[in-house]
Amino acid sequence: MAELLDTISYPEDLRGLDAARLPDLAEELRGYLLESLSETGGHLGANLGTVELTLALHYTFQTPHDRLVWDVGHQAYVHKLLTGRRESFGTIRQAGGLSGFPKRAESPYDTFGVGHASTSISAALGMAQASAAQGEERAVAAIIGDGAMTAGMAFEALNHAGDLNANLLVILNDNEMSISPNVGALSQRFSRLIAGRWYNRMRDNADRALSRIPGARDIARRAEEHFKGLITPGTLFEELGFNYVGPVDGHNLDELLPILGNLRGMEGPRLLHVVTRKGKGFEPAENEPTKYHGVTPFDPATGAPRKSGGGAPAYTKVFGDALIETAAADERVTGITPAMREGSGLVEFEQRFPERFFDVGIAEQHALTFAAGQACEGLRPVVAIYSTFLQRAYDQLIHDIAIQNLPVVFAIDRAGIVGPDGPTHGGNFDLSFLRPVPNLTLMTPANEVDLRNMLATGLALEGPSALRYPKDKAVGLATSGPPSPLEVGRAEVVREGSGGQALLVFGPFIGPALEAAEERDATVVNMRFVKPLDTALLTELAATHRHLVTVEENTLAGGAGEAVRAFLASLDPEVRVTCLGLPDAFIPQGERTALLGDYGLDAAGMTAALRAHTAPRPVARECPQK
């Protein structure tokens, strides 16, 4: 039952409640989250951990006039439930449904579109500065987790906020977790502080004792500030110009409400350090916060997933196993992840090679240049990174790695369509932004055997390389034998056809391509390398094939198909090239297989492309006479 929650559609309804009712509402929200997400899946742990904080924020801040900017935004489901989206909450992360992250187009309460970490303070600072410049009286708060606080961008923003002396509240939601347990020196200091709650009790006891001695409290306060500086990171924030308050219990509304009420009215940069528990109120999630960071539909009674895995391993696991095999054979190999140990398949690698595993936190730029430094000293670093998050370190890839031609291997996961996470997490662009980079070898495995061999290929190169693969199960081939290097720039003819047409696939499309090739007796080629292209094979094909269809799970703009088309245009303009890939758009959220079909990246789409060959060539439009 959620009789209180049923009365709340918007924050003004919430603010009409007596504060004493809020703990009951918190419990109803937790029950609602568990029930709904047990059906749909989603980011469970972080949302259970921010129930009270979200209530307190919408209760004390005059939203939407006041601005709340969520960092990453995966923890903003309660925010959505309280801002007019309870009825549609069951559609979250599904095609046509609510986004899993705050999205400006979705609600005026969603002040900034997020999904990638560590942007909230910058955006909130921009809003605070603009509001002040326009004479708008409004409170602005960024809510950032301890994981997101490990990114350099967060400190760039703190530094600037202190410089501007901006009216900005930063709320650090510290649950000692990223997706994995949080990493970094700052996180360790936070943990000691939280563990050191004795610090607060000791201070309160001393305060009471000294209050009876005139003047003693001032001396003690100064001593305390010094002492606090010795053991709390609050000093770090205070050095950046922030008034640090905390740590406070992020589940205690009696603490949160007055503190947020006071901080809202204060001026200048303030930072409230809030301590929460990821997964709060649901024992399985409290006990295994990493496992319950992102969940598929589950049994709310036990937390067990409704559907078990099974079938061929995901490419992520194929990569993780191959990295272990290559590292076992070559002690120079290291594995580096920017805070995505589980998602990138490195859990077992860390267990096998703890001294060669590096989780650098949410710090993609640092991850790449750290790898560059390792490579300078003869190591063979492998950076395991999602395509979408690699976007954040593009300059490091070019400037620190490619220009110096350093042997860093990029194992790019979640390439192409990601599904429920939607546009902010799409891996649509990596072929386009990597192809122009000199010195870089760019590979698209078509199956698990290719993936293993391409890892070995990259590790054998003296310069940078990248292999990219989707969030999907592998095709299920036997992977006997150790990963072994391929001949760089050589494609694999999978089917010899005599119909004068060919399907050239970049990635795991051989199955649907073979299906589509039957009807017209088309040739099927596993291209394997986007860079360098197998131009010798393309030259050979062009002599006997008058229509080539390229297939890639990447935006067409600047993609692999364009490389093929450019080469053939220079060779024989009469050869027709049809490119299948993603449009010039951000791919919406939805179910991955359905989305692949929507864009013709399946057997039906390839068949249609081959059939179109008989269609008359589009007549070039007459250029209008000047």
The smaller minimum CB distance to ligand TPP, of residues 160 and 278, is found at 278
- Report whether 575 contacts 568 (CB < 8 A): yes
- Per CB under 5 A, the list member of 113, 145, 381, 561 interacting with Mg ion is 145
> Does residue number 271 form part of the binding site for ligand TPP (CB under 6 A)?
no
Q: Using the rule CB under 6 A, which residue among 343, 381, 581, 590 binds ligand DXP?
A: 343
Nearer to ligand TPP, 72 or 596 (CB): 72
Confirm whether residue 481 is marked as ligand binding: no
Residue number, 43 or 280, with CB nearest to ligand DXP: 43
Does residue 479 come out as left (phi exceeding 0), alpha (psi in the -120 to 50 range) or beta?
Answer: beta
> Candidates 168-176, 241-249, 413-421, 585-593 — which segment interacts with ligand DXP by CB under 6 A?
413-421
| Binding test (CB under 6 A) with ligand DXP, winner from 30, 160, 414, 520 | 414
Asked if 524 touches ligand TPP (CB under 6 A), the answer is: no
What's the sign of the alpha-carbon dihedral 228, 233, 239, 240? negative
* Closest C-alpha among 538, 602, 598, 314 to residue 447: 314
Residue of 128, 146, 151, 148 whose CA lies nearest to 138:
128
558 vs 431: CA distance, rounded Å = 7
Cα-only R_g, the chain: 27
Does 565 bind ligand TPP (CB under 6 A)? Our answer is no
Closest-CA residue to 127 (of 115, 141, 148)? 141
Say how far apart CA 592 and CA 418 lie, in whole Å.
Answer: 6
Report residue 543 CA to chain centroid gap.
44
Q: Is 298 annotated as a binding residue?
A: no
Judge whether 282 is annotated as a binding position: yes
Among residue numbers 172 through 191, which ones bind Mg ion (CB under 5 A)? Answer: 175, 177
Interface region with ligand TPP, contact rule CB under 6 A, candidates 143-151, 428-436, 555-563, 576-584: 143-151
Residue 414 partner contact from ligand TPP, ligand DXP, Mg ion, none using kind-dependent CB cut-offs of 5 to 8 Å: ligand DXP
Per-residue b or e along 172-190, where b marks 16 or more CB atoms closer than 10 Å to that residue's CB: bbbbbbbbbebbbebbebb
Q: Tell me whether residue 343 or residue 508 sits nearer to ligand DXP (CB atom).
A: 343
- Candidates 174, 105, 164, 155; CA nearest to 130 is 164
DSSP 366-385: HHHHHHHHHHHTT-EEEEEE
- Say if strands 380-386 and 409-413 run parallel, antiparallel, or are unpaired: parallel
Residue 595 contacts residue 564 (beta carbons within 8 Å): no
Q: At what angle do helices 51-60 and 253-265 cross, to 10 degrees?
A: 40
Between 280 and 414, CB nearer to ligand DXP: 414
- Give the span between the Cα atoms of 454 and 245, in whole angstroms: 51
Question: What residues are paired with 337 via a beta bridge?
Answer: 359
Asked if 359 is part of the footprint of Mg ion (rule: CB under 5 A), the reply reads no
Both tokens assigned to 539: 């030259």
Tell me the site size for ligand DXP, rule CB under 6 A. Answer: 8
Cα-based distances in Å from 531 to 272, 438, 467, 488: 49, 10, 11, 9
Task: Work out whether 147 is an interface residue with ligand TPP (CB under 6 A).
Answer: yes
Phi, psi of 193 (to 5 degrees): -65, -50
Question: Quick one: 175 or 554, whose CB is closer to ligand TPP?
Answer: 175
Among 178, 187, 523, 554, binds ligand TPP (CB under 6 A): 178
294 binds ligand DXP (CB under 6 A): yes
Active site residue ranges: 278, 364, 392
Residue 100 is classified by DSSP as S
Place of tokens 């992360």: 93
| Binding positions for ligand DXP, 13-72, rule CB under 6 A | 72
Output the smallest distance, CB 151 to ligand TPP, in A: 7
Q: How many positions of this chain bind ligand TPP (CB under 6 A)? A: 22
Tell me whether residue 46 or residue 401 sits nearer to ligand TPP (CB atom): 46
**Which segment (2-10, 191-199, 414-422, 440-448) binds ligand DXP by CB under 6 A?**
414-422
Q: Interior CA angle at 228 toward 286 and 260, to 5°?
A: 55
148 is in an annotated binding site: yes
The nearest distance, CB 250 to ligand TPP, in angstroms, is 11
State which residue, 330 or 586, has the beta carbon closest to ligand TPP. 586
The answer to whether 147 is a known ligand-binding residue is yes
Q: Which of 74, 473, 520, 565 binds ligand DXP (CB under 6 A)?
A: 74
294 binds, among ligand TPP, ligand DXP, Mg ion, none (CB under 5 to 8 A by kind): ligand DXP
- Ligand-binding annotation for 146, yes or no, is yes
Taking residue 309's Cβ as centre, other Cβ atoms within 10 Å add up to 10
Question: Can you tell me whether residue 80 is helix, strand or coil?
Answer: helix
Distance CA 386, CA 429 (A): 12
| Strand boundaries in 16-166, DSSP class E | 67-70, 140-145
Contacts with Mg ion: how many residues (CB under 5 A)? 5
Q: Contact with ligand TPP (CB under 6 A): which of 30, 58, 67, 74? A: 74
| 115 annotated as a binding-site residue | yes
The CA distance from 566 to 564, in Å, is 5
* Binding flag, residue 421, ligand DXP (CB under 6 A): yes
Stretch that binds Mg ion, among 61-69, 157-165, 169-177, 387-395 (CB under 5 A): 169-177
Closer residue to ligand TPP in complex, CB, 114/513: 114
- Given strand 501-506, what is the order of strands in its sheet? 492-495, 523-526, 501-506, 547-555, 576-582
Q: Contact positions toward Mg ion, by CB under 5 A?
A: 145-147, 175, 177
Q: Contact positions toward ligand DXP, by CB under 6 A?
A: 72, 74, 294, 343, 414, 418, 421, 471
Binding-site sequence positions: 74, 115-117, 146-148, 175, 282, 364
Q: Contact positions toward ligand TPP, by CB under 6 A?
A: 46, 49, 72, 74-75, 116-117, 145-148, 173, 175, 177-179, 278, 338-339, 362, 389, 392
Binding-site sequence positions for thiamine diphosphate: 74, 115-117, 147-148, 175, 282, 364
